[in-house]
Amino acid sequence: MSDIPTRTIRFIASEDGKTYYGAPVQTGDLGLLYHSGTKLSARVLSGSPLSPSTKLTSRILSVKKLLSPLAPAEIQTIRGMGAQYAADKSAVPKPKFFNLFYKPLNTIAGPEDPIVIPQAAVGWDNDYEVELCVVLGKEGKDIPVEKALEHVFGYCVVNDVTSRGLAGITGRAIQGNQWGQAKSADSWCPLGPVLVSAKEINDPQKLALKTTVNGALKQSSNTSEMLLSVAELISMMSAGTTLEKGSIILTGSPLPLKSVVNDTNRWLVHGDEVRCEVEGLGTLINKIVEERGPRKSKL
Amino acid sequence: MSSWSRLVRFLPADAGTTPLIGEPVDAALDVGLAIYEGKQVEVELFDGSSVLSPGTKTGEKAIVGKLLSPVSEEEVGTIRCVGLNYRLHAKELNLVIPDVPTIFMKPAESLANPYPDPIVIPKFLAEHSTTDYESEFGIIIGKACKNVSEAEALDYVLGYTACNDVSNRKTQMEQSQWGFSKGFDKACPCGPVIVNKSQIPDASKLFMTGHKNGKLMQTSQLDDMIFTVAQMVSFISQGTTLKPGTLIITGTPHGIGHSHSPPEYLVEGDEYHVNVSGGIGTLINKTEVEK
């Protein structure tokens, strides 16, 4: 596995329309390059970067479409974290408990894929959430904190798209307040543009992250502001629970800027372009599409 | 494709390691109870490897060695769960009847098999065991569905089963989302069979009970459910593709261990039996503290 480059992508090749894993030839922010129409190419990997038997081949193919860096079937489970960034870490005690939720696999999308707001969520305060996404390369359970990072394969950018209204956070109060319908729509977990191996990321707690919508800054922070570190999250989530290889963890999103919190027009609407960026991992760009048509459920 | 009324996924008694699909020869047999009692369960073999595509009867019979959950961990994806969904349960907890279903999830890794596989109390919770049972009626989706109306929702259902939404109450109270406290390994036993939806045109007519070590703890007709099968499938599918194999567990009636005074939590050795009528039978698991 030592010859697998530290940056990998998953893509549909122009040459034959098939899906491949590959190591991008171009350097720099692949999300921005792809967005601007730059022709990307990659050296094909014989399989998933997570597999120890995968080899780097000499074949180079052109990227027709960039996909999420891992296939949904390989991921199986997406674990997410509730709010756990603080504006002033020193003022907040380290939490002993944390809010764990899941996003089902139908949510996975790639760079430039539309984020589709279903009819059921239109007008329900839909929001972006830039997050550091951790990809596990080694299965584990009851993992001690000091061993946690050994289980990490790498990192990528994720946007944990959320309907604050359907989560019962704003607007309509929902009894039980479970976020199951608020984060699980198709396309509500864009991932990418690349998967970066942990070898390239010295310290996951030193990464700047930000979100812009139509060019305006909405979130801006650093993973140093996380109340629970990546290692602590892995350890806590693995209590009594097997975290499988390939599973991913969405590690929480920073608070929006104060100017955003006070903006009554802050929610995502049709046509908005969202850019989520994490230092060293590139920029994940997606556009919002609101679904039209009559609602099919009477509830 | 052969038609079927009930299917089991199982490992054969001749110690094969490939899961097989079969239909119990005795249509009236409570398969889960029979296995628990050490009785022989004979099935007619199908040539498929999944209840989603069981294929054709081979003409051969097999003996069940070990019962497995009707869908596999690889097929089930993230399990969808409906919170408060029984009127009497709302009453015992002093909660108002919700007008929309509360939806949360359990990870695929929580899926567990019927007896002899156990309910597992995680090591780190062994001293505080507040592990609790929740008898639940399960829906298995057979056809990919999204944005389905209530009128067409049942078209997408494959069949029904029994589940136990094993929950840890201490950790459940420590955070607002239930994902952790209900998501431990093996916290979703499921089975013993899948009954074809054609056998159960109206799930509200079914009865469900839960027994702890032989003592009746939960009992309800499913007409006490606040939301119907069609309403739940329709609602959950709005904006979200439910793939075939998706398991929806539909809430628990009154009588959870937590609501008793003193609480009736599960400890090492406790057995919980979830029985659902209509041919589903009894899902049995014995509690074990993880070593």
- Given the structure tokens 């309907």, which residue do they identify? A163
Check CB contact of B288 with chain A, cutoff 8 Å.
Answer: no
Question: Are the C-beta atoms of residues A84 and A166 closer than 8 Å to each other?
Answer: no
Percent of chain A scored above 90 by pLDDT?
A: 78
Check CB contact of A115 with chain B, cutoff 8 Å.
Answer: no
Q: What average pLDDT does this structure show over A223-246?
A: 96
Closest partner CB to A106 (pick from B147, B177, B240)? B240
Answer yes or no: do B175 and A82 touch at CB < 8 A. yes
What's the pLDDT at A91?
81
Q: What average pLDDT does this structure show over A126-155?
A: 97
Tell me: pLDDT of A1 over 50: no
Q: To 5 degrees, how large is the angle CA B66–CA B72–CA B77? A: 155
What's the pLDDT at B186?
96
SS (H, E, C) A36-54: CCCCCEEEEECCCCCCCCC
Task: Please list, residue by residue across B36-64, b when 16 or more beta carbons sit within 10 angstroms of its beta carbon and e when fewer do.
Answer: beeeebebbbbebebbbebeebeeeebeb
What's the pLDDT at A88?
77
Check CB contact of A144 with chain B, cutoff 8 Å.
Answer: no
The token duo for A131 is: 């997050």
Task: Give the tens place of pLDDT for each residue, A24-33.
Answer: 999 999 999 9
Check CB contact of A123 with chain B, cutoff 8 Å.
Answer: no
Answer yes or no: do A100 and B125 touch at CB < 8 A. no
What's the pLDDT at A175?
59
Answer yes or no: do A298 and B174 touch at CB < 8 A. no
Write down the mean pLDDT value for chain A.
Answer: 93
Check CB contact of A248 with chain B, cutoff 8 Å.
Answer: no
CA atoms B75, B77, B79, B80: torsion sign: negative
Tell me: pLDDT of A169 over 90: no
What's the pLDDT at B133?
97
Check CB contact of A119 with chain B, cutoff 8 Å.
Answer: yes
Tell me: pLDDT of A259 over 90: no
Indicate the pLDDT class of residue A18, thresholds 50, 70 and 90: very high
Answer yes or no: do A178 and B175 touch at CB < 8 A. no
What's the pLDDT at A98?
84
What is the rounded distance in angstroms from the CA atom of residue A130 to the CA atom of residue A277? 7
Cα–Cα distances in Å, from A142 out to A95, A243, A288, B249?
18, 9, 39, 27
Q: Name beta bridge partners: B170.
A: none
Closest CA to A182 of A124, A261, A133: A124
Residue-by-residue DSSP string for B60-87: EEEEEEEEE-SS-HHHH-SEEEE-S-BH
Check CB contact of B124 with chain A, cutoff 8 Å.
Answer: yes
By CA distance, what is A98's nearest residue in B? Answer: B175
The token duo for B153 is: 């929702």
Answer yes or no: do B184 and A295 touch at CB < 8 A. no
Contacts of A102 in chain B (CB under 8 A): 78, 105-107, 179, 183
More confident site: A170 or A261: A261
Q: Name beta bridge partners: B209.
A: B219, B275
Contacts of A77 in chain B (CB under 8 A): 78, 107-109
Pairing of strands A100-103, A248-250: unpaired
Check CB contact of B151 with chain A, cutoff 8 Å.
Answer: no
All residues at 6 or more sequence positions from A36 whose CB lies less than 8 Å from its CB, including other chains: none
What is the rounded distance in angstroms from the CA atom of residue B273 to the CA atom of residue A37? 60
Q: What average pLDDT does this structure show over A271-285?
A: 98
Optimal mutation site among B120, B155, B172, B176, interface A, most CBs of chain A within 10 A: B176
By CA distance, what is A244's nearest residue in B? Answer: B109
Check CB contact of A18 with chain B, cutoff 8 Å.
Answer: no
- Given the structure tokens 């916290």, which residue do they identify? B187
By CA distance, what is B93's nearest residue in A? Answer: A176
What is the rounded distance in angstroms from the CA atom of residue A292 to the CA atom of residue A297? 14
What is the rounded distance in angstroms from the CA atom of residue A150 to the CA atom of residue B101? 40
Question: Are the C-beta atoms of residues B250 and B2 closer than 8 Å to each other?
Answer: no
What is the rounded distance in angstroms from the CA atom of residue B31 to the CA atom of residue B33? 5
Question: Are the C-beta atoms of residues B199 and B6 closer than 8 Å to each other?
Answer: yes
Q: What's the gap in Å between the CA of B199 and the closest CA on chain A?
A: 25
Question: Are the C-beta atoms of residues A57 and A226 closer than 8 Å to each other?
Answer: no
Residue window 250-279, chain A: list those with CB within 8 Å of chain B: none
Tell me: pLDDT of A138 over 50: yes
By CA distance, what is B228's nearest residue in A? Answer: A299
- Given the structure tokens 């950790």, which residue do they identify? B171
All residues at 6 or more sequence positions from A13 whose CB lies less than 8 Å from its CB, including other chains: A19, A20, A61, A62, A63, A64
Optimal mutation site among B76, B168, B180, B248, interface A, most CBs of chain A within 10 A: B180
Closest partner CB to B105 (pick from A102, A120, A175)? A102
Task: Give the tens place of pLDDT for each residue, A42-97.
Answer: 999 999 999 999 999 999 999 999 999 999 999 999 999 987 888 777 888 888 78
Q: What average pLDDT does this structure show over A264-274?
A: 93
With a cut of 50, list the residues of chain B below it in pLDDT: none
